[in-house]
Amino acid sequence: MDVVLAETAGFCMGVDLALTRLDTLIDNAEGRPIYILGPIIHNPQVLKEYADKGVTKVDTPEDVPGGAYAVIRAHGVPRQVEDGLKSRDVFVKDVTCPRVKKAQLLIARHTAGGAELLLYGEADHPEVAGLVSYASHDYFVFGSPEELDRHELNPDKKYVLAAQTTQDRVLFDQIADRLSADEKVQVEVLRTICDATRLRQAEAKRLASEVDFMVVVGGYISGNTRRLAQVVTDAGTPCQHIETVVDLELDELAGYARIGVTAGASTPRNLIDEVLDGLKSL
């Protein structure tokens, strides 16, 4: 059996930077408690490691006591939450991914004149909650072209189209092209999907065409990991999305001659290596 690992598998720049900043804060906190607003990244194994180091995850900013550090996670938070933290006796440490922060600021700038934001993304995702908070006026979140079709667009109104940074680039481009070609719609397109996401999805699709089976490693709550698995499935290659090697039915894979492995942007290298070792044991 051949086992092929995608070059782009594992931590992206934004995740790596966020965790590096958190590690530095832990080393220099001098006893001051550290709280994170929600999971810093969507990987349960990483979250447990930081919980064991004394980092506390909370769901609301009110749960962060005065005098403590409040870490803004890689996905970002609504700007009202950040403003509220800064108005209190809380030390704010912002580790928002630079690509997400750029998307937030672009949305704020381009909707300032009154345009409605059309955001392609997952309505219940924390990154999306942060992005739409930067819209100066109305916004509409849609997860598919069909949802957007059901949203009536006013020809007398201006729109800004953007996307959650980890969305499918190909599908977003199709949506953008269709709206731009409609003479009745005044739309400005913001290219907010991260290049790392695009490259990771393109490599997963290419690798899927060269192997008999694909394994996608990453948190089940990780949106970008789920989309990797969907890209592979859409390419017609059998695929399994797992969090760790214990989720892998190794005996069922023994009949495949060539297996590809990729991983989400929030998947640490040690979990990838454990999956590789498990497959190579076959």
Q: What is the mean pLDDT of residues 227-245?
A: 95
Question: Helix 223-234 and helix 195-208: axis angle, to 10°?
Answer: 40
Asked if residues 55 and 26 have their Cβ atoms less than 8 Å apart, the reply is yes
Question: What is residue 165's predicted lDDT score, i.e. its pLDDT?
Answer: 95
Extents of the domains making up the chain: 2-10+196-280, 13-97, 99-193
Alpha-helical runs (H) found in the chain: 13-28, 44-52, 79-86, 98-111, 126-132, 145-149, 169-181, 195-208, 223-234, 250-253, 269-280
Q: Is the pTM of this model over 0.85?
A: yes
Architecture of domain 13-97: 3-Layer(aba) Sandwich (3.40)
Q: Is 179 helix (H, G, I), strand (E, B) or coil?
A: helix
Q: What is the mean pLDDT of residues 253-263?
A: 95
Question: What is residue 249's predicted lDDT score, i.e. its pLDDT?
Answer: 87
**Cα–Cα distance between 11 and 219 in angstroms, integer?**
12
Instruction: Report CA-CA distances (Å) from 63 to 21, 58, 154.
Output: 22, 6, 42
Asked if residues 6 and 204 have their Cβ atoms less than 8 Å apart, the reply is yes
Q: Assess whether 127 carries a catalytic annotation.
A: yes
2-10+196-280, what's its fold?
Cobalt-precorrin-4 Transmethylase; domain 1 (3.40.1010)
Asked if the domains 13-97 and 99-193 are classified in one and the same CATH topology, the answer is no
Q: Give pLDDT tens digits for 69-93.
A: 999 999 999 999 999 998 888 999 9
Question: What is residue 45's predicted lDDT score, i.e. its pLDDT?
Answer: 95
Candidates 82, 127, 203, 243; catalytic one: 127
CATH (residue range 99-193): 3.40.1010.20
